Amino acid sequence: MTLLEVHSLAKTFHIHHLQREVPAFANVSFTLRAGEFLLVRGPNGIGKSTLLRCLYRTYLPSGGSAMYESRQGVIDLARAADVDIAQLRRTEIGNVSQFLRPRPRVSALDMVAEPLLAGNTAIDESRRMAGDWLADFGLKSDIWQAYPTTFSGGEQQKVNLARALIAPRRLLLLDEPTASLDAGARAALVSRLAQLKNQGVAMIGVFHHPEDVAKLVDGELQLRVH
Amino acid sequence: MQTLPPQLITARPLLAARNLTRRYGSIVAVDDVSLVVYSGETLGIVGESGSGKSTVLRLLNLEEPADEGQVTLNVPGYGDTNLFSLERFQRRQVQIRHIGIVYQNPHQGLRMRVTSSGNVAERLILAGERRYATLREAARDSLAVSEFPLERMDDLPAKLSGGMQQRVQLAKAIALKPALLLLDEPTTGLDVSVQALVLDTLMRLQRERQIATIVVSHDLGVIRTLADRVMVMRRGRVVEQGLTDQVLDDPQHPYTQQLVHAKL
């Protein structure tokens, strides 16, 4: 089943104080089916992360369409109402970024449990599952109650990944999630992604070291200078 | 690109304000502002001092009338009524039962010569409750939900720290389980660590109750933490609105670009 059909998607930034237009990418088209993994390739600065952010709507696309087959019907991610995008982010589309945005006075365990709590899972069960994920990524259990504001980059990224992946999603956008991870956590991530893929989750990913996920990749999208 | 009307969200917005304008003499404080908020979501309003954001909040709290425009609240009995067209008594009833507000300045929201529990109970008295035991119980519950230290519930607000005063305001605001919660710079002026704790309480409330919330703040960090969507105001007008991360990371309007980049 086709989950996402992207047609001629484009993004240009207008920087008003420089009175400049900065093109990021243009004319991107691809199709993604449930359970497929699409690897986005291209040199630095070509717009790989920008493409993911446009699909998540952190950036507003400038043109084209991204028809997504939601549980409630087809919707154009490029132009959907903000409230619809917010709803899809809560229920269907996940974003796995490179950095955690820790909040003061919120423990690692609770940062991870939060997306489940938002989906009405009971607090004990949410925390138990959060612990499973953190253990899987190799975060020592004696710091689960600590505040990630003080964690190292690698530790923060483990919290970030667990938080991003804990709630069930149908489409995952992965923006260099293996950056700053040790080998053990990288292996745990790849095995978790393989599991999710088998369950039918579709993924679009940017990886600095694509060999990490070589076994998962079904197709590649090469971004080029236009 | 222009966004489309909602397609997945089919419920009616809890709050809809259309074409609000408010003038003070020759000054147009709020100029043709429209907004909607759905149950369970938080809308942030940002802008510099004098942009009209606090005036919008006062209009939505029915504290003063708009010169033009209307406000509807999708609550039983009033769904299709422009709330500005109600007579004073009814308007006050809607305000007490369905709208809660937390002001930046606790003196605006609390009576400093009445105990903290008394401040919260007052809200229930206004709604018609008279039994002492019920009032006390309800005040205690609401203070507990706001994570106020209960051993201090009979202290005067004047004796409390800024963070605790904000918790009393919050307890008062949510005592009658309002459909709409308005927050006007709720953590401005608090120490950073206290601010974090109050934000955490607000986030927990958002999660546990399907309240529609509007938060006004000039602090973009507060907005990023609390708001799903954000509206940027300048000189009484809305210059941009969108998902919070989109407005802060990919601002479209020249003013918003300037505002976002001015942040340290």
pLDDT tens string B102-126: 999 999 999 999 999 999 999 999 9
How many angstroms separate the CA atoms of B154 and B228, rounded? 36
Chain B residues with CB-CB distance to A17 below 8 A: 254, 257-258
Residue with tokens 């927050």: B183
CB contact under 8 A, B246 and A17: no
Helices (H), B192-253: 192-208, 220-226, 244-249
**CB B1 to CB A79 under 8 A?**
yes
Residue-wise pLDDT for B198-243, tens only, equals: 898 898 888 888 899 999 998 999 999 999 999 999 999 999 999 9
Query: Rounded to an integer, what distance in angstroms lies between the CA atom of residue B59 and that of residue B66?
Result: 6
Task: Determine the residue of chain B that is closest to A53 in CA distance.
Answer: B246
Give the pairing type, strands A171-175 and A219-222: unpaired
- Using the beta-carbon criterion (under 8 Å), do B207 and A14 form an inter-chain contact? no
| Predicted local distance difference test score (pLDDT) of residue B195 | 87
Please tell me the pTM assigned to this model. 0.94
User: Closest Cα of chain B to A61: distance in Å?
Assistant: 7
**Interface contact B196-A104, CB threshold 8 A:** yes
Token pair, residue B192, equals 């950073």
Q: State the residue for tokens 């990913």.
A: A205
Distance of alpha carbon A68 from alpha carbon A77, whole angstroms? 7
Distance in angstroms between the alpha carbons of the first and the last residue of chain A: 31
Report the C-alpha gap between B201 and B196 in whole angstroms.
9
- 8 A C-beta contact, residue A42 and residue A48: yes
Shortest alpha-carbon distance between residue A218 and chain B (Å): 30
A/B interface, count of CB pairs below 8 Å: 90
CA B130 to CA B153: how far, in whole Å? 19
DSSP labels for A155-210?
HHHHHHHHHHHSS--SEEEEESTTTT--HHHHHHHHHHHHHHHHTT-EEEEE-SSG
Closest CA to A175 of A191, A188, A157: A157
DSSP A152: -
- CB contact, 8 Å: B82 with chain A? no
B27 touches chain A (CB under 8 A): no
d(CA A170, CA A192): 14
Tokens at B149, concatenated: 């230290």
In the prediction, which pLDDT does B191 show? 84
Query: Could you give the C-alpha distances from B179 to A67, A108, B127, B188, B230, in angstroms and in order?
Result: 34, 32, 15, 24, 19
d(CA A117, CA A121): 5
- Tell me how close the Cα of A26 comes to any Cα of chain B, in angstroms: 14
Answer whether B244's CB lies under 8 Å from B224's CB.
yes
**CB distance B181 to B212 below 8 Å:** yes
Sign of CA dihedral A151, A157, A161, A163: positive
Contacts of A164 (CB under 8 A, 6+ apart): A94, A95, A96, A97, A172, A177
Position B197 scores a pLDDT of 85
| Residue count of chain B | 264
- Report pLDDT digits (tens) over B76-104: 999 989 999 999 999 999 999 999 999 99
Q: Report the C-alpha gap between A52 and A94 in whole angstroms.
A: 11
DSSP for B16-76, written as a single string:
EEEEEEEEETTEEEEEEEEEEE-TT-EEEEE--TTSSHHHHHHHHTTSS--SEEEEEE-ST
What is residue B264's predicted lDDT score, i.e. its pLDDT? Answer: 56
Query: What's the pLDDT at B263?
Result: 65
B235 within 8 A of B56, measured Cβ to Cβ: no
Q: What is the pLDDT of residues B11-51, one digit of tens each?
A: 999 999 999 999 999 999 999 999 999 999 999 999 988 99
Half-sphere exposure of B58 (CA within 13 A, CB side): 15
Asked if the interface predicted TM-score (ipTM) of this complex is over 0.90, the answer is yes
pLDDT at B262 over 80: no
B189 or A176: which leads in pLDDT: A176
Q: What residue type is assigned to position A73 of the chain? A: G
Distance CA A152, CA A159 (A): 11
Q: What is the full per-residue pLDDT of chain A (226 aa) written as tens digits? A: 899 999 999 999 999 888 899 999 999 999 999 999 999 999 988 999 999 999 999 999 999 999 999 999 999 999 999 999 999 999 999 999 888 988 888 999 999 999 999 888 999 999 999 999 999 999 999 999 999 999 999 999 999 999 999 999 999 999 999 988 999 999 999 999 999 999 999 999 999 889 989 999 999 999 988 6
**Residues 6 or more apart from B100 whose CB is under 8 A from it?**
B172, B173, B174, B175, B176, B178, B180, B181, B182
Could you report the per-residue pLDDT of A57-93, keeping only the tens digit for each? Answer: 999 999 999 999 999 999 999 999 999 999 999 999 9
Contact A172, A196 (CB under 8 A): yes
